[in-house]
Structure 1
Amino acid sequence: MAEKMMIQFDHVTKKFDGETILRDISFDIERGKFYTLLGPSGCGKTTILRLIAGFLEPTEGTLTFDGQLVNKIPPNKRQVNTVFQDYALFPHLNVFENVAFGLRINKLASKEIAPRVKEALHFVNLDGYQNREISDLSGGQKQRVAIARAIVNRPQVLLLDEPLSALDLKLRTAMQFELRQLQRRLGITFIFVTHDQEEALAMSDEIFVLNQGKIEQSGSPRSIYDEPINRFVADFIGESNIIPGKMPQDRVVSFAGKTFNCVDQGFNKNESVEVVIRPEDLELKQRGEGLLQVRVESQLFRGVHYEIIGKDEAGNSWMIHSTKSAKINDEIGLYFEPEAIHIMRHGESEEDFDRRLESYEGADHD
């Protein structure tokens, strides 16, 4: 495992003019994976990117690259390249010269530049575009040129600072697929910054969810979506129904005035908790059927499903995603499996949360 570790943040804090932007964060980046830094504006994700690139130095803590302390190593001495949000292409240079720019700065021999540029353009599916002017390119093509310019120097790490934000929805979706395929072909580490949770879920091997300068939770897209650690993560990653509840005993939870079987354990008797059920895990039933009864308050057609809002007898609002429609003011039933219920403990750390999940696996094995 030690050989796989490329970048390590150890209790890093970053302050600007007395304001703390990053708060004592520690994490590891493995070689050859696609990572995403996900969070709202101002959470610190771009600051992390700039620390890795060498544009900033930590106020406290250490940053190592392949075991070497790099706190004060300048950007040109790091095996890292960055693709910026606005692409930062040179409008007076054609595609070839934009991609070759870094190679010329590094004084690579002229005979080596052309094949390196050709190789980089091939990787981003821009064969034959060498002589195009930047002004003649579409948004997606400009993005590919920016990536080609970054990878032509053969960095160990590619940093991408919201490079898809300026694209329309259809092109952005296509470029998500292309970026993921490119990372797999190159086999280098990608660190991608976004506030778009759908991008993060679609592209990443691992996600770091940030909030107010702290990492709230890290893990695979599936683990973060299925097992959010707190209300912020549950709300930020997808849609969630979050309801107050209590744990009378292990694998039993009470909420909305009723008691249900669940799969969570390791709580104190009658501990107050927050209950999460995703909208797509709720199944519509006829009135009087199911586990809960709700009255429909609104309904929107979202293309692939209806988004229905209902309220139960205890006053809790429920969002339901279903291919079935409902009628306003109708009473309907809701059914959900025990596995669809996720329990969040108030104030639980990520370490304690991980230990609790491991205890489930041990109990299931027994």
Structure 2
Amino acid sequence: MAETIIRFENVTKQFDNDPPVLDNVSFEIEKGKFYTLLGPSGCGKTTILRLIAGFLEASDGKIFLNDKVINEIPANKRPVNTVFQDYALFPHLNVFENVAFGLRIKKMKKDVIQQKVVEALRFVNLAGYEKREITEMSGGQRQRVAIARAIVNEPEVILLDEPLSALDLKLRTEMQYELRDLQRRLGITFIFVTHDQEEALAMSDEIFVLNKGEIQQSGTPIDIYDEPINRFVADFIGESNIVSGKMIQDFEVEFVERRFECVDQGFNPNEVVEVIIRPEDLEITTEEKGNLRVTVDWVLFRGVHYEIGCIDEDGNEWLVHSTKKAKIGEKLGLAFDPEAIHVMRLGETEEEFDARLESYEEA
């Protein structure tokens, strides 16, 4: 069983009389994994990072690190390091001195500092850059310097506050691979903050999806993408077609005034639900063969696929991702398998949701 390194126990953070930024949040972080805190601006993800780092104090609840309460421990005494969005590098110091800064504060010996800095720079593929000025470095290189400065102190946890947001798309993608590879080689816990769901899906072992100061759902990228707990998660993680429906009975759901076979169970007869079908799970076919009959409303070319907006006979909008081209105004059928239908219970908690999924596996 994996060892827990960080635990939040009923943690609340509130500024003055404003609504809580975090509201009674509890979770566990296991040692040696890559975690992502994902959500829109103002959801509380950066607040969690700052509470772990010691830059903020919790209004209520306990924060544990290695089973010890750290609420009262100052930031400089915690075995964590933070990589900030703007990297917070010193422009008047060269690469070596930026990485060595924390070690000099600890008054380590010169030969030890030399060895540790050179090793850290080698680890982030910046060997030979020791004397380079920060102002001469590219955005990706500056990020590597910031990471080297974080790992040179040998922390147990590295916190990353949207460190890729200032990079262009191609470099951002390259750095995603580099960060993931670095975490695996180091074997220490990374906690990464982003609002980019594609970034979260690509990099994470575990994702916490936050909204309005609460964790909506946690799990692996595949679990969260394939089995979202509610409309917010389904809509925030990837693109979705979401319609209202009724669970007639186990394995049978009604939506768009038709009944379909599905793989969900454990609902009450005729319970009102929401139904999600991912755009890539809709197959373009003829009107006669389709589960739905639609008219193409718009088409965009996305490189690897076409993004096609359709409207069915009842006026519902459907988004389709397909390698097949379609024409605006064309009448088509949309086919999907029972496995493509995901039924969401209204107001279900994550504990209830997990229990329901376990019952599927047992069945």
Tell me, yes or no, whether TM beats 0.5: yes
Matches of 2:314 and 2:349, distance apart in 1: 30
- For 1:298 and 1:154, the matched residues in 2 are separated by 53
Task: Provide the rounded CA distance (Å) in 1 between the counterparts of 2:150 and 2:97.
Answer: 13
1:164 corresponds to 2:164: yes
Q: Counterpart of 2:68?
A: 68
1:7 matched to 2:6: yes
| 2:356 corresponds to 1:353 | no
2:131: which partner in 1?
131
Q: How does 1:263-302 map to 2 (within 5 A)?
A: 263-302=263-302
Q: Which piece of structure 1 moves more, 250-259 or 25-34?
A: 250-259
Between the aligned residues of both structures, percent identity stands at 70
Q: What corresponds to 2:178 in structure 1?
A: 178
Kindly indicate whether residue 344 of structure 2 is the aligned counterpart of residue 344 of structure 1: yes
The equivalent of 2:258 in structure 1 is 258
- Match for residue 327 of structure 1? 327
Distance in 1 (alpha carbons) for counterparts of 2:6 and 2:287? 55
Question: What CA distance in whole angstroms lies between the structure 1 residues aligned with 2:121 and 2:17?
Answer: 44
- Per the alignment, residue 228 of structure 2 pairs with 228
Aligned residue runs from structure 1 range 20-35, under 5 A: 20-35=20-35
What residue identity is the alignment partner of 1:229? I
1:49 maps to what in 2?
49
Instruction: Return the alpha-carbon distance in structure 1 between the equivalents of residues 269 and 286 of structure 2.
Output: 34
Deviation at 1:287, TM superposition (A): 2.4
* 2:357 maps to amino acid: L
The runs of at least 4 consecutive aligned structure 1 residues that moved more than 2 Å come to: none
Answer yes or no: is the 8 Å Cα contact 1:176–1:203 preserved in 2: yes
Match of residue 105 from structure 1: 105
Alpha-carbon distance in structure 1 between the residues aligned to 2:331 and 2:357: 36
How many Å separate the matches in 1 of 2:146 and 2:166?
A: 14
Q: Which amino acid aligns with 2:136?
A: D
Report how far residue 328 of structure 1 moved: 1.2
Deviations 1:140-165 (A, max 9, x none): 00000000000000000000000000
Query: Residue 176 of structure 1 aligns to which amino acid in structure 2?
Result: Q
SS class of match (1:229): coil
| 2:16 alignment partner in structure 1 | 17
What is the alpha-carbon distance in structure 1 between the residues aligned to residue 302 and residue 193 of structure 2?
27
Distance in 2 separating the partners of 1:185 and 1:154: 13
Gaps of 5+ in 2: none
User: What TM-score, normalized by structure 2, do the two folds share?
Assistant: 0.99
Unaligned runs of at least 5 residues, structure 1: none
Number of residue equivalences: 362
CA contact (8 A) 1:256 1:313 kept: no
Equivalent-residue separation in structure 1 for 2:93 and 2:58 (angstroms): 35
> What CA distance in whole angstroms lies between the structure 2 residues aligned with 1:266 and 1:107?
62
CA distance in 2: counterparts of 1:87 and 1:174, whole angstroms: 18
**Residues 278-330 of structure 1: CA distance to partner in whole angstroms, max 9, x if unpaired?**
00000000222221111111111111111111111122110000000111111
